[in-house]
Chains A and B, each alone.
Chain A
Amino acid sequence: MKQKRFLFLSRLLKAVIKNRLARFFLLLAALSLSTTLAVSFVAISLGMKERIGESLQVFGANLILLPHSEKVGSGGISLGEYSTSLQAEEVEELLKKVPSVKEFFPRWERKIFIKGKKVLVLGMKREEMEKARWKIKGNIPLRGEVMLGRDLAQYVGKKIGEEIDVFGRRRISGVVETGGEEDKAIIIPFSEVSRGEVSYCLLRVAPGRTGEVEKKIKALSSQVEVKTLRKVAQAEESLLKKITNLILIVATGVALASAIAVGNTLNLMVLERREEIGVLKALGATPSFISFYFFLEAFLIALLSGFVGLILGGGVAEAIALAVFEKWISIPWQTIPVSLGLSLGIVLLSSLIPLYQASKVEAQAILKGL
């Protein structure tokens, strides 16, 4: 009996697909559109966080690595006066063990006297100078060159192309304006001065993970001290949270709207086929069978549109990521179960009313017209 019933069902479904192929595709397209929208939001809320974190990278480092404080001569003076320093190799070895560190920039600092004034000399890697959003007249210093801070350049009265005595005679390649301490400093390529020594090292980790990395580095080495630069760390954490919350709420709105659209589409499906239901009923189908049959059909379409939505929605999410951040996002695997679950849930929930209506159709009323 059960087998017979199953056979009947499968023949019915085959007939539906054969006779109503155009309608079927229309329905599928309508549902897929809704699920695509929902899926792209799921993918974006799950996958965009990393990209936003990267985009906040422009605000600079959020952790600083220093030699252990007990070695420091007199506390409380600017970072440049630390008398001891780390070895660059040591730092690199250490940071290899902490993969969540996205970038690190070692720095070297000394103070020298220029025209009777104590001036900070800042050894920086070339990549850091290129990434820093500074206002530079002239060029970044290469071998045998230095870059002067704006205020210092005014003070010593030297122009780009002239020479200055900083650990030997060097050409001035440019003048930099940052609005920070660099304006009164001399910037020199790291390799020119450091000889493997590092005064301190600036690190960049994903927003919200500074505490975790701090702990990890502390556990790995007692030679160094790590501090969170709260200025950057706090601001970005709060911003990231707000943006993701906003996306999440908008996504909820989209899910709601999709549910309405899907529900209506299913309702259309039932309305259009009242005659069919009438015939089925006249042939002795119980309301529960009709509900089951329509449910099955809705379920199959939902599954199909879920897959279509998954592919298209992923595409939409990637397109947005490319447009905004000029980079792909890695859509996490959670997107698949979440969006399939979501699209099935939406379809099943929103099919409740139309199913109820379908089972209520009266056979005679319909058949009268045939």
Chain B
Amino acid sequence: MWWRILKGLLYRGKGSFFLILISATLGSALVASLTSVSLGISSKISQELRKYGANILVEGKEENYLNEEDIYKLKTQIFWRYNIVSISPFLYSLATVSGEKGDAQVVVAGTWFNKRFPTQEKFFSGIKQTNPYLKVSGKFPQDGDYPEAIVGKEVAKKVGAFSGEKILLKVGEKKAYVKVVGVMESGGYEDSQIYVPLDFWQKLLSLPGKVSRVLVSAITVPLDDFGRRDPKTMTRREYDKWYCTAYVTSVSKQIEEAIENSQAKPIWGIAEAEGKVLRQLSFLIYLLVLLSLISASLAVSTTLMSNVLRRRKEIGLLKALGSKPSKVVQIFLVEAIFLGILAGILGFFGGHLLSNFLGRNIFGSPFEFRFYLLFLSLFSSLLITFFGSYFPLRQALKIPAGEVMRA
């Protein structure tokens, strides 16, 4: 009997079934995609916030140098290695620059530009990633022992160093000619500095394998009161919990442990601001998602209401043939459940496509695929179709059979 009901649903409705299905699918797709958006939004925003640059600064204790090889440990050894988005080491020295127009005392830093990590297959890191805000005319130098340089805008103006020209760098007795491959602008310190490849600079200064400071850009969770506490005052259990949460403080602590003789400090302005903005924006998106869920369920339940009303005659006929109201309800609910399951499954896949589209087009990467959303979209679409047809059905049943049949 149930099969016949379902078959009838498909053939008799003259396409109205598909109309309802489309509307219910649309609703449940909206539910699935928006849920996945709201689940993933906070990680998307925190990735986006990394554009503000590094949030952890590592320096040597008592201004000692750090070892370059320790830096690789940040991607291989520490607990939160996957949260480390990019790393840039710097080896600073004050140098005299001579160009076409004159000389100047300038801070020159050896650094990575877009260095491929030997320990990691696809991990590239350097100031291209940690300082994404740099406006570069020309290009970045190559990583390695190459006599190339990228020059800050102010320095370029002052000494007359433009792309393609050579400048002389002098540190004490040591000197070398480097080719300017680009000019950079940030409005900040970079404008009055020169960057050269780290290997080249280490060689020139005879400081092999040494760096003076490291900038790290890491994805962290917003600091709460617990995260702000001094770890020295924590009990053993609290300390473990703190250590295994990606607070900017605990990630710093782990970096400090990995790099010998170092002290890692959160860049507080960035770290605290990040937490606040992240909380606000995610909260905003949650609320909007909630609103759109209401409107999606409204759409689906009204579709079902009009479906029941359209079939009042059928209900009358069933009643006239002697079926109890409970039987009529059963028949319609079986239809609703069938519809709900179908719409839930279709909506899950549709929602997955939709959230992929949103993620790719807005944030450049899709939202994470979560299989359990299938159950959520099934559940929600069943709930909506059930209530959408139950209440109008009860109303339709109150009408005496005769009245409906006459028409």
| Contacts from A to B (Cβ < 8 Å) | 30, 33-34, 37-38, 40-41, 44, 48, 52, 55-56, 58-60, 63-64, 69, 74-78, 132-135, 150, 177-180, 183, 227-235, 238-239, 242-243, 245-247, 249-250, 253-254, 256-258, 260-261, 264-265, 267-268, 271-272, 274-275, 316, 320, 323-325, 365-366, 368-369
Contact = CB atoms under 8 A, between A and B. Distances in A.
Q: Which 3 A-B pairs have the closest CB atoms?
A: A179-B267, A133-B272, A264-B302
Contacts of A78: 107, 189, 192
A230 B185 contact: yes
Interface in B172-212: 185-189, 191-193
Contacts of A271: 306, 309-310
Interface residues of B, number: 77
B358 interface: yes
A60 B133 contact: no
B172 to A, nearest CB: 18
Contact of A246 (B155, B191, B362): B362
A325 B287 CA distance: 12
Contact of B51 (A64, A179, A235, A268): A235
Residue among A78, A232, A323, A366 with the highest chain B CB neighbour number at 10 A: A232
17 contacts: A41-B291, A75-B155, A76-B105, A78-B107, A150-B265, A227-B187, A233-B133, A234-B133, A235-B52, A257-B30, A257-B295, A260-B303, A261-B295, A271-B306, A316-B291, A320-B288, A324-B287
B343 to A, nearest CB: 13
B291 A40 contact: yes
B346 interface: no
A253 B57 CA distance: 43
A235 B52 CA distance: 5
Contacts of B126: none
A35 B53 CA distance: 42
Nearest to A62: B187
A40 B295 CA distance: 12
B362 A245 contact: yes
A44 to B, nearest CB: 7
Contacts of B53: 231, 235
B285 A246 contact: yes
B379 interface: no
Contact of A178 (B154, B267, B292): B267
B268 interface: yes
A243 B280 CA distance: 12
B23 A260 contact: yes
A66 B115 CA distance: 35
A59 B407 contact: no
Residue among B131, B187, B272, B280 with the highest chain A CB neighbour number at 10 A: B187
Main secondary structure of the interface of B (DSSP, over half): helix
Nearest to A38: B295
A20 to B, nearest CB: 15
B288 A250 contact: yes
A325 B282 CA distance: 12
A41 B186 contact: no
B317 interface: no
Contacts of B280: 52, 55, 324-325
B302 A56 contact: no
Nearest to A61: B187
B298 A261 contact: yes
Contacts of B221: none
Interface in B285-309: 285, 287-289, 291-292, 294-296, 298-299, 302-303, 305-306, 309
A231 B298 contact: no
Contact of B134 (A30, A230, A243): A230
Interface in B95-110: 97, 104-107
A179 B56 CA distance: 7
Contacts of B322: none
A64 B188 CA distance: 9
A76 B101 CA distance: 14
Contacts of B107: 76-78
Contacts of A58: 272-273, 276-277
B295 A37 contact: yes
A69 B133 contact: no
A128 B110 CA distance: 33
A135 B154 contact: no
B276 A55 contact: yes
A80 to B, nearest CB: 11
B96 to A, nearest CB: 11
B48 interface: yes
Contacts of B277: 55-56, 58-59
Contacts of B26: 256-257, 260
Contacts of B270: 59, 179
A258 B295 contact: yes
Given A76-B105, A268-B302, A231 B154 contact: no
A346 B273 CA distance: 41
Contact of B133 (A230, A246, A257): A230
Nearest to A33: B298
Contacts of B309: 268, 271-272
Contact of B407 (A180, A320, A366): A366
B265 A37 contact: no
Contacts of B30: 253, 257
B155 A30 contact: no
Contacts of B306: 264, 267-268, 271
Contact of A229 (B187, B276, B283): B187
Contacts of A275: 407
Interface in B393-407: 403, 406-407
B302 A30 contact: yes
A279 B406 CA distance: 16
Residue among B131, B288, B309 with the highest chain A CB neighbour number at 10 A: B288
A231 B104 CA distance: 25
A177 B48 contact: no
B327 interface: no
Interface in B218-245: none
Nearest to A37: B295
Given A230-B188, A254-B292, A239 B49 contact: yes
Contacts of B299: 257-258, 260-261, 264
B276 to A, nearest CB: 6
A356 B149 CA distance: 73
B152 A76 contact: yes
Interface string B381-402: 0000000000000000000000
Residue among A132, A231, A254, A368 with the highest chain B CB neighbour number at 10 A: A231
A328 B136 CA distance: 40
A178 B57 CA distance: 10
B65 to A, nearest CB: 16
Contacts of A232: 52
